[in-house]
Amino acid sequence: MPNRPTDQLFQLIKSLDKAEKRNFKLYAKRNAAGADLKVVQLFDALDKLEEYDEAKLLKHTKSIKKQQLSNIKAHLYKQILNSLRLLKDEGNIDIQLHEQMDHARILFNKGLYMQSLKVLEKIKESSKDHHQVTFWLQALIFEKKIESLYITRSFKNRAELLSKEVEELDDRLVMIGKLSNLALQLYGWYINHGHARNKQEEQSLKTFFTQQLPKHADQQRGFYERMYLYQAYCWYAFILQDLLQYYKYCQRWVDLFEEEPVMKSIETLYYLKGMHNLLNAHFMLRNHQKHALELSKLQKFYTSPICVQQENNQVQAFVHLFTARINQHFMEGSFSKGVVQIAPLEAELEAYASKLDLHRVLVFYYKIACLHFGAGDNATAISYLQKIIHWKTDLRSDLQCYARLLHLIAHYELGNYDILEHLIKSVYRFMAKLESLTVVEEAIFQFLRSSFASTPVKIVPQFAKLHQRLSKLEGSALETRSFMYLDILSWLESKMQSKPVQEIIRQKFLQQQKGK
């Protein structure tokens, strides 16, 4: 993956589209004495650079001295943000409500209290319609201020009604805060550790969830309360590898947006995240038809005005769309077709390098490696797995483990027996240190150790014996992740039948479709 630009100003300028750059130029020149402003010169120089290089920058902006650069950069950064603020974004309710709140304050400062109250009333109505509780509360607090300082001749009992409404919204915000905290903590647990690896982690997670889940959380009717509640249950079930519960709450998460379509444009990223998890649930449960249906919906949304109007939405939609497409190939056993999609995927990864988190890139590398492995290109699979193995990060210890395990199996497929014994010991130590070894993985290591001494004739029965042993573990909750990350049973069947693993998975898929 390319190096991410480290200079914040450079990164901001590179994120601008043509219209935004043109708007900045107009804004800067309109608010200055001349067209040859140093900020504009700096903007142009940074825009022309492919990578941030301060020496080149100073060479191309000779009117700016090195000691001036820091202050001018800070000023330019602020000016760009101000120019972007002036661009009307009809789809951003936050910006609209902020603007109306500014208008209410200006009218208040001018002594036009009734006009200010009218604006606040509009803010409350819009906030209520779009579930923006914080803006709703701000408007109420401002209204209380006006009512307490000036005689506005409001209707009777206005003070009591305002106080009651503020208390209700305070309670809602507390509940939203608790549920959003719980959802975030669970997601953070998954990002750092992956799935629960043993009974101790499972019990620890259950205790934490029970203690942190607010009372009456399941009875909440507000949009954000329910959204964060479904997210919390979603991560909880996923970590515990309870796939049916995971699917149940992913579906509720997405259904919530279908009930409130206006929220798709307000919380687009959460909608996309919900769609991603629903697709992931269908993939893990091998619900091919439902996965294909939801994938079609995501593809349609990807080209919708809501998604297209903001680059951030496009980036996240691209991530989830490509993930679902790759998973579709995994289900269908069409690995060779999936490999064809890798080149455009990597082009997008490079284009969006500064906007993608490391966790997402790691997942893509693992999926790309799995595509090549399934297609029989073990050497290329190894090259992608090495990117994960050599990446210095503490994210997703489970993914790090399975990258090493697949790396080991790919070398086994290539017949690299001279390094295999060393790799087995290395991977075993790594997984044991993280307490990640399941019964499935222990069985795989035992098989690989003993297979060195086997002849081609004797090794086939050993494949069958391992397959029989692992098949009994497929339904075990704590062993689920072993089969989610690596279709070890299909690989064993490919060895038993002397067929490519792609062909085995494809046959299973076609048989499953015939049975429906």
The H-assigned helical ranges of 375-486 are 378-389, 397-414, 417-433, 439-451, 456-471, 480-485
Could you tell me which residues come within 8 angstroms of residue 143 by beta carbon, excluding any fewer than 6 positions away?
Answer: 117, 120, 162
Size of the chain, expressed as the number of residues it contains: 516
How far is the C-alpha of 44 from the C-alpha of 233, rounded, in Å?
A: 49
pLDDT in tens, 237-246: 999 989 999 9
* pLDDT score for 463: 85
* pLDDT score for 461: 83
* pLDDT score for 382: 96
344 pLDDT higher than 60: yes
Task: Name the CA radius of gyration of the chain, rounded.
Answer: 28
How far is the C-alpha of 53 from the C-alpha of 262, rounded, in Å?
A: 44
More confident residue, 171 or 5: 171
Among the residue ranges 264-278, 319-333, 380-394, the one predicted with the least confidence is 380-394
Mean pLDDT of 42-54: 88
Among the residue ranges 150-159, 430-439, 440-449, 491-500, the one predicted with the least confidence is 150-159
* pLDDT score for 34: 47
Mean pLDDT of 156-176: 86
Could you tell me which residues come within 8 angstroms of residue 113 by beta carbon, excluding any fewer than 6 positions away?
Answer: 107, 146, 150, 152
pLDDT in tens, 16-47: 888 889 888 888 877 665 445 788 888 988 99
Categorize the per-residue pLDDT at 328 as very low, low, confident or very high, splitting at 50, 70 and 90.
very high
More confident residue, 121 or 151: 121
pLDDT in tens, 349-379: 888 877 887 878 888 999 999 999 999 999 9
pLDDT in tens, 71-86: 889 989 998 988 888 7
pLDDT in tens, 408-440: 889 988 988 888 888 888 888 887 787 667 788
pLDDT in tens, 186-223: 998 888 777 887 788 889 999 999 999 999 998 888 99
* pLDDT score for 239: 93
The mean predicted confidence, pLDDT, of the chain is: 86
Three-class secondary structure assignment of 179-222: HHHHHHHHHHHHHHHCCCCCHHHHHHHHHHHHHHCCCCHHHCCC
Three-class secondary structure assignment of 465-508: HHHHHHHCCCCCHHHHHHHHHCCHHHHHHHHHHCCCHHHHHHHH
Q: Which two tokens stand for residue 193?
A: 């550790």
Q: Classify 375 as helix, strand or coil.
A: coil
Categorize the per-residue pLDDT at 1 as very low, low, confident or very high, splitting at 50, 70 and 90.
very low
Torsion angles phi and psi, residue 33, rounded to 5: -75, -30
57 pLDDT higher than 60: yes
pLDDT in tens, 167-186: 999 999 999 999 999 999 99
114 pLDDT higher than 60: yes
Tell me the whole-structure pTM to 2 decimals: 0.81
Could you tell me which residues come within 8 angstroms of residue 196 by beta carbon, excluding any fewer than 6 positions away?
Answer: 202, 205, 239, 240, 241, 478
